[in-house]
Amino acid sequence: MFNAIIIVAAACVVAYFLRRNFRRAWYVLRTGDEHPDWEKLGGDYFIAPWERRKAEDRRQ
């Protein structure tokens, strides 16, 4: 049971660090655009709405 908890926790940490890359990969899979213009899309395109709200709350 302890090992399962450790494995799940490690998977969550890895997913946390890879979430931006996953969003980029999901965009490519969803749209079929193999060479999207990342400069045009901007970095904010890949930030979840709840992450934006969290960052705005910290600034205030």
Q: Confidence class of residue 2 from pLDDT cuts 50, 70 and 90?
A: very high
Provide the terminal-to-terminal Cα distance of the chain, rounded to the nearest Å: 42
Tell me the C-alpha distance between 4 and 47, whole Å: 30
pTM of the model: 0.43
Q: What is the pLDDT of residues 10-53, one digit of tens each?
A: 998 888 777 767 777 778 888 888 787 777 777 676 677 777 77
List the chain domain ranges. Answer: 20-60
Q: What Å distances lie between residue 54 and 3, 8, 11, 22, 47, CA to CA?
A: 32, 25, 23, 20, 11
